[in-house]
Amino acid sequence: SKSIEQRSAIAAEYRQRSGEAVSLKAADIVDANQITVESYLRAAEALLLIHGHTHRPANHRFELNGAPACRMVLPEWHQRSGGYLSVRGDSISRHLFV
């Protein structure tokens, strides 16, 4: 059996390889499908979708049924870095920590 240190090193190596592979893929492969996003928003009668990471965190603004809509993507989390959103009134802010 492997020690905790060995397991952590192996996991870190796999995460690095995964990150390198993702950075080489086209955005449409590792990101949410816009048609599906719009379908879910229409079904929920909503204009904002917040979801977990797709390896490409961002705010994606678009029009849905003639109204402004947004898909907010959170960054992925690691042991020492990540991000979150906060809401104050009608404003949503993105926060990253390292």
DSSP string, 48-78: EEEE---S--EEEEEEETTEEEEEEEPPP--
Residue range of the domain that includes 76: 31-97
Asked if residue 17 belongs to a domain, the reply is: no
Listed residue (81, 29, 35) closest to 54, CA to CA: 29
The pTM of this model reads: 0.64
State the average pLDDT for the chain: 84
Asked if residue 67 belongs to a domain, the reply is: yes
Mean pLDDT across 64-80: 90
**Choice between 4 and 62, residue whose per-residue pLDDT is larger:** 62
Q: How confident is the model at residue 1 (pLDDT cuts 50, 70, 90)?
A: confident
38: CATH: 3.60.21.10
pLDDT > 90 fraction of the chain, expressed in percent and rounded: 39
Asked if residue 7 belongs to a domain, the reply is: no
Asked if residue 73 belongs to a domain, the reply is: yes
Domains contained in the chain, number? 1
Asked if residue 22 belongs to a domain, the reply is: no
Q: How confident is the model at residue 24 (pLDDT cuts 50, 70, 90)?
A: low
- Contact status, residue 92 vs residue 72, Cβ threshold 8 Å: yes
Q: How confident is the model at residue 19 (pLDDT cuts 50, 70, 90)?
A: low
